[in-house]
Amino acid sequence: MSAITMRELTKVYPGGVRALDALDLEIADGEFFALLGPSGCGKTTLLRTIAGLEVASGGSVRIGERDVTNLPPGRRDVAMVFQDYALFPHMTVRDNIAYPLRIKKVDRRSRAGKAGETADELGLAGLLERRPGQLSGGQQQRVALARAMACHPQVFLLDEPLSNLDARLRLEARTFLKRLQRELGVTTVFVTHDQAEALALADRIAVMEGGRIRQVGTPTEVFRRPANTFVAGFIGSTPMNLIAARVHGEELAVARARLPLPEDARDRVTDGERLVYGVRPEYLDYSASPVDGALTGEVVVVENLGSVSLVSLDVPADDPDAADAPDGGAGPDGDAGPDGGDGPGAGLAAGDTGAGAGRTSVQVVVPEGSEPEPGDTGWVVPRPGRSLLYRDGNLVTAAPPAGVPAPRAGVAARS
Amino acid sequence: MVEGARPVPGASPAPDAAGLGRARATGFLVPAMVLILVFLVVPAAWTIYLGVTNYRLTGLAAAHPEVVGLDNYTRALGDERFRTSLLLTLQFVLGSAVIGQAGLGFAIAFALRDRRGPLRRLVEGFVLLSWILPSSVVAFLWIALLDRDAGTLNALLGIPGTAWLLDHPMLSIIVFNTWRGTAFSMMLYAAALENVPRSHLETARLAGASTWQQLRDVVFPHIRGHVLTNLLLISLWTFNDFAPFLITAGGPEQRSEILPVYVYKVALSGGELGFGAAISFVMLLINLVIALVYLRMLGRRKEAA
């Protein structure tokens, strides 16, 4: 019973910075939950407010059945692993792991036993008498995890758990962390700015911007159907193509081409309406010869990503009256929300940035062996069911917003 | 066989980063060396020499001092007044430096650690003021504060007629020196506390540690080196501090006669320069011992880390 429920949670720092803005969020019992966003979006503040290290300016936090809004951190029954691991350098690994137990006045023998047991689970058995300075980064992280586990808290909070590891170790630690969380089944919230990490680890993700949550959903939902252009631009190792479009009967006029309307949006748009067409580079197929229902343009950049290449094409912007839309915020998500214009989505979405007036850039992922050369003319076809339409920055969709999943084990979290 | 760039055999020449050459480098060093020699080494050696003579300020022995060997030292060690003075000095160091300045300085720094703005600046300003004022001004202020008949303290407490400087001379100069020197410790600890990682303190807080437990488990292990350096400096400064003379002049009845005051009285008021020099040398040795103890503790810390 350790679901976390936040209601209208607000944090205003002295000086008037509103880090959390009346935020509502439910995290189910046993869930592995990611808080994702660019720096300054409030994700770390949210984590620290759950921990009790920041005092909420308004709203409430509940862990399980308890309202912990005004409890000090030591009485919330949560454990946190910091980005720098915060291991005490003057204590041995054993003493570090046993530290929370020592504060809870567990007697010396049983806390040494408990520390040894936890260390065994995490593969630290031979290192108990070492000092943190004598350990590698990955081992230090596991000691920090062991210290968090040793006192069996209701909730784990991880602040950027993988960012202090080098690239190779990071993948290993990611798998390890996911497996550990699954075995322990403890509600875990982690903060990251790396969308790939969030997609790989989390059961559900909350994408944050400017102290608000822009979308909550499973990695699949967030990746396939970003609820707004901000999320669309933020999620995915290659950001989504966002191109100005206009409804034309049963079809969509995009970059002087005609594409079929996405299924979802068919009955929700009006003829002549201006929208933003979104499709991921991974969901586009490149062709060197003319195809129907394709965007066409000149290949300008080919980036090798290993097994695939990322190809950028310059395609003509939409029909002339769309191209001379007001500049600057013109972008398709110009008035998406309070922050439209400075998120990653905004820069990419603006149809006529970068490539000069009357042109827009489309990126497509091409499998190895069939890469074009810069200067070639290419055609790209969106795969059916994978393109999206955004109106004022928000997804045009029939699907209802996703709810909170049932807890993985035990009783329902919602009271 | 190819003649490549083989390493030059034999001892590698001393690195000469500045490219001056030995002679010119020596030229740069000489002025500083001469100054140190003239103003530091010679007087020190002179003091040691004086310590084994019966040199006096006036009289026959001033004209023709005689070497008396270790007589001055045996006399000092047998002298009740010297031993009392040494004891008072230790009280003074322990009370005003270790407990007073370091303790109060740390307490203020810890209390202000997360504060910014006017309160912090005000407190720091007042503490610093006591540190930057000239000794003579400060001594006058304290005499005015503690005066028996017209003293500010007595007026505030409503107990006129309490002669603080006569009844509690040691307490008076200990409190005085604490007030005078806290600023240094406060600033040093404030800087040290900035270095305690926030995440470590927060880990302790999340485990439920009290303020005292956070101090013991996180703060002190982190600032141990700062504490030792601070104690080393303020112990030496306090040991050699002459300012209390300006307030109590060692009195009454030598009850606040710490070693610097004692040396001054013996050597300059009493005119026994040789004896005074001997005691000065003893003080130097004690300072050396204090420094060595702290440095050993610092060294051990580095090994442990």
- B53 phi/psi in degrees, rounded to 5: -120, 175
Domain that holds residue A29: 4-225
Q: Are residues A308 and A206 in the same domain?
A: no
Q: Are residues A148 and A221 in the same domain?
A: yes
Chain B residues with at least one Cβ partner in A under 8 Å? 197, 199-200, 202-209, 213, 217-218, 221, 304-305
Please indicate whether, in this complex, the C-beta atoms of B202 and A82 are within 8 angstroms of each other.
yes
> How many beta-carbon pairs below 8 A join chains A and B?
59
Q: Are residues A22 and A80 in the same domain?
A: yes
Q: Are residues A48 and A71 in the same domain?
A: yes
Please indicate whether, in this complex, the C-beta atoms of B304 and A73 are within 8 angstroms of each other.
no
Q: Is residue B304 part of a domain?
A: no
Q: Which residue has the tokens 């790939």?
A: A196
Q: Encode pLDDT of A353-406 as tens digits.
A: 433 456 788 999 999 888 898 998 999 999 888 888 888 888 887 655 555 565
Alpha-carbon span A172 to A167, nearest angstrom: 9
Structure tokens of B52?
Answer: 């084994």
Q: Chain A residues with CB inside 8 Å of B305's CB? A: 89-90, 133
The pTM score is 0.77
3-state secondary structure of A391: strand
Average pLDDT over residues B31-59: 87
Q: Encode pLDDT of B178-199 as tens digits.
A: 998 898 999 999 999 988 999 9
Q: Is residue B44 part of a domain?
A: no
Query: Of A194, A225, A256, which marks where a domain is finished?
Result: A225
DSSP string, A189-210: EEEES-HHHHHHH-SEEEEEET
Q: Are residues A250 and A333 in the same domain?
A: yes
Closest approach of B225 to chain A, Cα-based (Å): 13
Q: Is residue B178 part of a domain?
A: yes
Q: Is the ipTM of this complex over 0.90?
A: no
* Burial profile A164-181: b = 16 or more Cβ within 10 angstroms, e = fewer: bbeeebbeebbebbbebb
Q: Are residues A331 and A371 in the same domain?
A: yes
Q: Is residue A273 part of a domain?
A: yes
Q: Are residues A253 and A220 in the same domain?
A: no
**Domain containing residue A154: CATH number:** 3.40.50.300
- B270 phi/psi in degrees, rounded to 5: -80, -15
Alpha-carbon span B48 to B279, nearest angstrom: 10
Alpha-carbon span A196 to A39, nearest angstrom: 16
Q: Are residues A174 and A283 in the same domain?
A: no
Characterise B254 by phi-psi region: left (phi > 0), alpha (psi -120 to 50), beta (else).
Answer: left
- Of chain A residues 17-56, which have a CB less than 8 A from chain B? 51-53
Q: Is residue A287 part of a domain?
A: yes
Q: Is residue B239 part of a domain?
A: yes
Q: Which of B119, B201, B203, B227 to mutate to test the interface with A (most CBs of A within 10 A)?
A: B203
Q: How confident is the model at residue B90, as a pLDDT?
A: 92
A89 in B contact zone (CB under 8 Å): yes
**Domain containing residue B151: CATH number:** 1.10.3720.10
Please indicate whether, in this complex, the C-beta atoms of B206 and A78 are within 8 angstroms of each other.
yes
Alpha-carbon span B91 to B76, nearest angstrom: 19
Alpha helices of chain B — where are they, by DSSP H?
Answer: 21-36, 42-51, 60-63, 71-78, 80-92, 104-111, 118-132, 135-146, 152-157, 164-167, 169-194, 198-207, 211-214, 220-239, 245-248, 259-264, 273-304
Domain that holds residue B193: 90-258
Do B185 and B102 contact (CB within 8 A), yes or no?
A: yes
Q: Is residue B102 part of a domain?
A: yes
Q: Is residue A404 part of a domain?
A: no
Do A46 and A23 contact (CB within 8 A), yes or no?
A: yes
Q: Are residues A219 and A88 in the same domain?
A: yes
Q: Are residues A327 and A200 in the same domain?
A: no
Of A51, A86, A103, the CB nearest to B213: A103
Alpha-carbon span A42 to A211, nearest angstrom: 5
Q: Is residue B134 part of a domain?
A: yes
Query: Of A225, A258, A289, which marks where a domain is finished?
Result: A225
Q: Which residue of B has its CA nearest to A155?
A: B206
A276 in B contact zone (CB under 8 Å): no
Q: Is residue A405 part of a domain?
A: no
Ranked by mean pLDDT, which of B18-27, B91-100, B158-167, B246-255 comes out on top? B91-100
The candidate with the shortest Cα–Cα distance to A391, out of A302, A290, A273, is A273
Q: Return the sign of the alpha-carbon dihedral for residues B12, B16, B21, B23.
A: negative
C-alpha distances in Å from residue A3, one per residue of A144, A192, A248, A412, B55: 23, 20, 47, 9, 87
Q: Is residue B132 part of a domain?
A: yes
Query: Of A173, A192, A225, which marks where a domain is finished?
Result: A225
Please indicate whether, in this complex, the C-beta atoms of B199 and A83 are within 8 angstroms of each other.
yes
Look at chain B and report how many structural domains it folds into.
Answer: 1
Q: Is residue A412 part of a domain?
A: no
Q: Chain B residues with CB inside 8 Å of A100's CB? A: 206-208
Q: Chain A residues with CB inside 8 Å of B206's CB? A: 51-53, 73-74, 78-80, 100
**Domain containing residue A289: CATH number:** 2.40.50.140
The crossing angle, in degrees rounded to 10, of helices B169-194 and B135-146 is 130
Of A52, A73, A88, the CB nearest to B200: A88
Q: Is residue A401 part of a domain?
A: no
Q: Is residue A99 part of a domain?
A: yes
Q: Is residue B292 part of a domain?
A: no
Look at chain A and report how many structural domains it folds into.
Answer: 2
Please indicate whether, in this complex, the C-beta atoms of A84 and B204 are within 8 angstroms of each other.
no
Please indicate whether, in this complex, the C-beta atoms of B206 and A75 are within 8 angstroms of each other.
no
**pLDDT by residue, tens only, chain A of 415 residues:** 589 999 999 999 888 888 998 899 999 999 999 999 998 899 999 999 999 999 999 999 999 889 999 999 988 899 999 999 999 999 999 999 999 999 888 888 888 888 888 888 888 888 888 999 999 888 899 999 999 988 889 999 999 988 888 888 888 888 989 999 998 899 999 999 999 999 999 999 999 998 899 999 999 999 998 999 999 989 988 889 999 888 888 888 888 888 888 877 777 888 888 889 999 999 999 998 898 888 899 999 999 988 899 999 998 876 544 444 433 333 344 333 344 334 343 334 444 343 345 678 899 999 988 889 899 899 999 988 888 888 888 888 765 555 556 555 433 333 3
List Cβ neighbours of A254 (8 Å cut-off, separation of 6 or more): A243, A244, A245, A277, A295, A318
Closest approach of B105 to chain A, Cα-based (Å): 25
C-alpha distances in Å from residue A353, one per residue of A252, A297, B228: 22, 16, 61
